[in-house]
Amino acid sequence: MAKVTVQAYERVLLYRDGAFERELEPGRHTVRRIWRVRREPVDPRLRQLAVAGQEIFTADGVPVRVTAVLRWQVADPRAFVERAEDPTELLHVALQLAVRDAVGRRELDELLRAEGRDAVTAELADPVRAEAAELGIAVQSAAVRDLVLVGELRTALGETALERQRGKAALERARGEAAALRSLANSAKLLDDHPALATLRLVQTAADSGATVVLTPDGLPPRR
């Protein structure tokens, strides 16, 4: 007889003479004839898998580089151990294919919008989940983390965005100048319609500068 301790973050499968015997939950267990038993620990905690920098052609033939992440955990320890030699590699391939399919059916303009990336994310988990279930894996979520353009296209898009911002800045300057001109025109019309205001404005300006203003009997500046 032997004592086997299983930690809170793991499960242990017991195989006796090559055949599955039982699964040990966290705690201390007594195992008979330990020399004939193989112990297979499995970690059921939440994990993350990433497919990084995968280059994919969009529906309109533009290459983009995509990084996607998958959150998963072992749901069936026995299936996880027995169904595949390397279940995480199969999970990685399933995520790759799901990303290729979802991105490859969309054009670049759609993918550059937030709604387009959200639509891709929404399509990733289900196809991966279907294959992962056979491996004893539960898929919690899948998402596109990064989507970037490749090579010269990235530079061209950056220049286009820069020119767009420059155009917006020039438009704002033009709007400001037009508003200033409208204000001057309105002020000039007001002074023409009300000569007394023009006189008052002249006196205020002269007072600020220390100059002397001589008015005619009618209360207006002398004409030259």
pLDDT of residue 185: 75
Mean pLDDT of 117-128: 92
pLDDT of residue 15: 94
Write out 180-206 in H/E/C secondary structure. HHHHHHHHHHHHHHCHHHHHHHHHHHH
Strands 137-149 and 37-42: unpaired
Q: Side chain identity at 166, as an amino acid letter?
A: R
pLDDT at 165 over 70: no
Question: What predicted TM-score, i.e. pTM, was given to this entire model?
Answer: 0.65
DSSP letter string over 44-64? -S-EEEEEEEEEEE-TTS-EE
Mean pLDDT of 102-127: 90
Q: Which residues does residue 113 pair with via DSSP β-bridges, in sequence order?
A: none
pLDDT of residue 184: 73
> In what helix (H) or strand (E) does residue 155 lie, and over which residues does it extend?
helix 152-193
Mean pLDDT of 126-145: 93
Task: For residue range 20-61, list pLDDT tens digits in order.
Answer: 999 999 999 988 888 889 999 999 999 999 998 888 988 988
Positive or negative torsion for Cα 29, 32, 33, 39: negative
Per-residue pLDDT band at 206 (split at 50, 70, 90): low
Cα 93 from Cα 1, distance rounded (Å): 43
pLDDT of residue 153: 58
pLDDT of residue 201: 64
Q: Give the chain's end-to-end CA distance (angstroms, integer).
A: 123
Closest by CA position to 2, among listed 32, 25, 24, 45: 32
Structure tokens at 222: 């002398």
Q: Are 45 and 94 within 8 A, CB to CB?
A: no
Q: Are 70 and 129 within 8 A, CB to CB?
A: no
DSSP letter string over 110-153? HHHSHHHHHHHHHTTHHHHHHHHHTTTEEEEEEEEEEEEE-THH
